[in-house]
Structure 1
Amino acid sequence: MAGGGGGLTIDLTATAAGFLAIGVFVVAYTAVIFEEQIHMRKSKPVLLAAGVIWIIIAFVYMGTDKRHLVEEGIRHNFLEYAELFFFLLVAMTYINAMLERGVFDELRNRLVRRGYSYKALFWLTGVLAFFISPIADNLTTALVMCAVIMAVGRDNPSFIALGCINIVVSANAGGAFSPFGDITTLMVWQKGILDFHEFFALFIPSVVNFLIPAVIMSFAIPKGNPPPLADDNDGPAIKRGGMRIVGFFLLTIVTAVSFHNFLHIPPVFGMMFGLVYLKLFGYYLKTVEKTYAALNDAIPGAAPKRAADGKDKFDIFNKVAQAEWDTLFFFYGVILAVGGLGFMGYLALASEFMYVQLGTTTANVLVGILSAIVDNIPVMFAVLTMQPEMSHSQWLLVTLTAGVGGSMLSIGSAAGVALMGQARGYYTFFAHLKWTWAIALGYAASIMVHLAIN
């Protein structure tokens, strides 16, 4: 028997139903890996796999007295997803609001105006990604920094490819030492396994993980400076309220941390509470824009305000609609599919092999390597479902390896998968694979540093 679903479940690991479920999962993930070649969004195959796996389970349990366990198992996994979903939805809404208000356009313009060389921009975007991702999470940070790379390097494909690889590595490394930095660290924090401050012990290993491949790749950066942008101008790109939205986002993060640490409320509740800040501020912006438009209309001969045509009006629901829904649905499919395999008993089997037979440290290093192949979300979710007995140092190690191990392949992390879509044709699976050896050196060095100092 395998634990799950609120009682003892039937062990299906050596049955036809179990083998069929594994086959469905493998086929689905193969489709995810070749997303770029088959032009099918990654959420579609995993959503299908999640549904089929639980249908197989339901059929097996139909003729038993344990039918209720299937519903309990689905509800348990759905709750896991719901917490992650709403947390990410708030973060994505804030990021989209900052994008719409021109916050990141202003960052891009300032980088270009300063006349930095390609190499300087490579390092600047990498360092910024490393230090922004602990706050804004590695996925959203990678998307923002990729926009900068695409803007300044649009005439230099090799720079875009190297810049995107560097961003994926730096964003994942920066996200590894913060509960907000990565989906995997967020899951560990929400589970209550590590306290908020404990993640910062991974700062130095994360720096090592970022610097080693960055130094190696920097020698391949083309010389010279990017050409000036045709639409570049001397005026600020930030619209009214842009920097205040940044402040409200930081306040939202503080709210989520405070709710969790002092009130012992799940962090997602603090994030949803923080969404109120943005919604109320959106109401304020609408009111101000209407007032300015009315005043402008009252002035004879005045040019019509941009806000009056509706294009620049701030609408919070537009920001929600612009969230990365494919990624959010991908997480749903992953959590339900892996949860279904766990319900069948496969995760208990894997836990026994990895953490008992191989040993804890070896298993946690292997988790990072698996993260590069299968994506770090299902791997970390599987580890959390296994709940192996480990010290805090080992939990920190698996948090590090799951976070940065995914950098070794473009499909190994949410940041990499997202950038393959955003920089389609420039940043590809094989462009990333060319530098996997350098990223692997950083991965090995970060583990050794962690074991030495933590």
Structure 2
Amino acid sequence: MKKTNHLCSRVRSSHAVDDAALNNPLRIVPGTVLGLFCLGQSTFAGAAESVVPGFTQHPVGYLALAIFAIAYVFVMLEEKLHLRKSKPVLLAAGLIWFLVAGFAALSGDTESANAALKHNLLEYSELLLFLLVAMTYINAMEERQLFDALRGWLVSKGFSYLSLFCITGLLAFFISPVADNLTTALLMCAVLMKVGEDSPRFISLGCINIVIAANAGGAFSPFGDITTLMVWQKGAVEFTEFFRLFIPSAVNFLVPALVMSFAVPRQPPRDATEPVIMKRGARRTVVLFLLTITTAVLGHNFLHLPAVVGMMMGLAYLQLLGYYLRRSFARGVARERSWAEATQNTRLLERLDKAVPFDVFNPMARTEWDTLLFFYGVVLCVGGLGYIGYLSEVSEMLYTDWSATGANIAVGFMSAVVDNIPVMFAVLSMEPEMSQGQWLLVTLTAGVGGSMLSIGSAAGVALMGQARGYYTLVSHLRWTPVIMVGYLASIATHMWLNAALF
């Protein structure tokens, strides 16, 4: 910084240009650019050195807030504009950190912004690799047609609309702790769309039920939602402690489900049969996924390794399975073809004609990269605002001026309007002093609060696209009061059952 100031003073003190420079205008350009930079620096530095109460009240801070707010408006309008949510937040993250780093450098601090950014990147990289492995496994199960087989079984059983409403809700609640709430919601919605073709009302109610169930199921497992994963990796809640939220999460799901069940059409759906035969390795993929989760949990709890180490080790399990499936591909296809010809299964024969060996990088390529990049943008945006000082101010307002309980309940309502990822990341960045019961409370509210609006969770946003015209913001809004009752009932249940933790 001193070297730059010295150079700037030399440029500003020089009033003469030598004859050679006049004869060669190109030689003037570097000096002119440097002079303009120094003029801008002196103006900016003067502002930085003026009596400014804090970074949060500086125009740079206000500009960073405005950039984040504008970016998030575009995120909320994703379905309307057909603009993927990662694009505005990636741009906002870059702009905010350029502003932050520039302001810090001109104030004489060239290290703290860099250190803060590296800390945020480290947190993101751990979550990125963790989610990459989890999504790869889920995509591998889908590629092996495990979920298609489940959907075909449900469709072929001839359940009534009310039975399907209950079954899809319960399945969403119990699958989302393992497969994550977004994947679970998409799977169950596919079932609804298949069996409810003649009943738009059933599809609408079923989608609302699935969103609530998937979000509630994801709240009591570190693998059920990105927010719970963040809480676990941060060390705020131990793995086994999440299961204390099982009953409160069940209450959050069952209260609105019970009320909505009275509005489900009573006539039976149209008969449909869709038998699906899973591909080789489907069940083994499930077993390896469970083994991967076990590896991550044991390594984290007993050896204090980052959970991502166990997950990446689990990716090796899947790669070895893929190697075996490729080596035995011809033999396996021949065996399946013999069975298909004996049973005259034309659909299986058609599939075998197009069969290709399993490649683990194909399901990896189908990972939700938009979600992962969106998460990068959110982490860096919130990290930049935290460096400026806004998170500490919000933390003081929420957790000092308010009670911790009131603040954590408010987090759930904020999650209904703003995606729960930035909300939870902000809370974790604040690092408020709270009891274990309060950490579980904010985990619960951030996880299930998004169910109050269709735009409040990834599951809701995804289903608005998948069930376009059936499940909308307005159709969900009609049931918001009932969902809110379930939200408050789950909080009361948690505070009663886990009172000893507060």
Shared fold per TM-score greater than 0.5: yes
- Give the 3-state SS of the residue equivalent to 2:471 in structure 1: coil
Find the residue that maps to 2:56 and give its secondary structure: coil
Alignment of 1:48 onto 2:88? no
CA deviation after TM superposition for structure 1 residue 290, in Å: 2.6
Q: Are 1:110 and 2:150 matched, yes or no?
A: no
Deviations 1:71-94 (A, max 9, x none): 222211111111111111111111
Map of 2:485 onto structure 1: 441
Change (3 A) 1:46 1:217: same
Q: Pick from 360, 365, 368: which aligns with 2:409?
A: 365
Letter of the 1:82 counterpart? S
Question: Which residue, 301, 307, 310 being the options, matches 1:270?
Answer: 310
Matched, 1:204 2:247: yes
Q: Against the structure 1 CA distance between its residues 214 and 69, is the aligned structure 2 distance closer, same or farther, given a 3 Å change threshold?
A: same
Alignment correspondent of 2:290: 250
* TM-score (norm. length: structure 1): 0.92
RMSD over aligned CA atoms reads: 2.2
Aligned pair 1:158/2:201, yes or no? yes
Residues 119-138 of structure 1 mapped to structure 2, 5 A cutoff: 119-138=162-181
Q: Deviations over 1:178-197 (max 9, x none)?
A: 11111111111101111111
Higher relative contact order (Cα pairs below 8 Å, separated by 6+ residues): 1
Q: Distance in 1 between matches of 2:448 and 2:190?
A: 22
2:400 aligns to what?
Answer: 356
Q: Contact between 1:89 and 1:323, CA under 8 Å: does it hold in 2? A: yes
2:263 to 212, 220, 225: 220
Rounded Cα–Cα distance in structure 2 between residues aligned with 1:291 and 1:243: 18
Deviation at 1:116, TM superposition (A): 0.4
- Paired residue type of 2:321: F
How many matched pairs?
A: 440
AA aligned opposite 2:237? L
Are positions 1:289 and 2:329 aligned together? yes
State the match for 1:147 in structure 2: 190
| Cα distance in 2, alignment partners of residues 292 and 240 from structure 1 | 8
Compare CA radii of gyration and give the structure with the larger one.
Answer: 2
Deviation at 1:59, TM superposition (A): 2.1
Residues 288-337 of structure 1 deviation map (CA, whole Å, 9 limit, x = unaligned): 21334578999xx9999667755443221110111111111111111111
**Alpha carbons of structure 1 residues 295 and 163: separation in structure 2 relative to 1, 3 Å:** closer
Give the structure 1 partner of residue 29 of structure 2. Answer: none
Mean Cα deviation higher: 351-360 or 433-442: 433-442
Question: SS of the residue aligned with 1:246?
Answer: helix
Kept in 2, the 8 Å contact 1:335–1:378? The answer is yes
**SS of residue matched to 1:323:** coil
Q: Which runs of 5+ in 1 are unaligned?
A: 1-9
CA separation of 1:292 and 1:128: change in aligned 2, threshold 3 A = closer
State which of 405, 412, 431 in structure 1 corresponds to 2:456. 412
Q: For the Cα contact (< 8 Å) 1:293–1:307, is it kept in 2?
A: no
What is aligned with 2:121? 78
Please state whether the residue corresponding to 1:180 is helix, strand or coil: coil
Q: SS of the residue aligned with 1:13?
A: helix
Partner in structure 2 of residue 6 of structure 1: none
Residue 135 of structure 2, aligned match among 78, 92, 96:
92
With normalisation by structure 2, the TM-score equals 0.83
Correspondence 1:384 to 2:424 = no
Deviation at residue 144 of structure 1 after TM alignment: 1.9
Contact conserved, 2:155 with 2:191, CA < 8 A, in 1? Answer: no
SS in 1 for 2:148: helix
1:130 is displaced (CA, Å) by: 0.7
Gap change, CA 1:23 and 1:222, over 3 Å in 2: same
Kept in 2: contact 1:307–1:313 (CA 8 A): no
One-letter identity of the residue aligned with 2:234: K
Counterparts of 1:288 and 1:225 in 2: how far apart (Å)? 45
Partner of 1:3: none
> Quick one: which amino acid aligns to residue 246 of structure 1?
V
Structure 2 CA distance for aligned equivalents of residues 316 and 243 of structure 1: 16
CA deviations on 1:96-123 (whole Å, 9 max, x unpaired) are 1111111111111111111101111111
Q: Which moved more, 1:156-165 or 1:422-431?
A: 422-431
Asked if 2 retains the 8 angstrom alpha-carbon contact of 1:289 and 1:307, the reply is no
Match of 1:182 in 2: 225
Counterpart of 1:80, as a letter, is E
Change in CA separation of 1:295 and 1:141 when aligned onto 2, cut-off 3 Å:
closer
Going from structure 1 to structure 2, the CA distance change for 1:84 and 1:154 (only over 3 Å counts) comes to: farther
Q: Give, in whole Å, the separation in 1 of the partners of 2:86 and 2:315.
A: 26
Matched to 2:411, the amino acid is V
Partner of 1:279: 319
Other-structure match for 1:4: none
Q: Determine the structure 1 residue equivalent to 2:39.
A: none
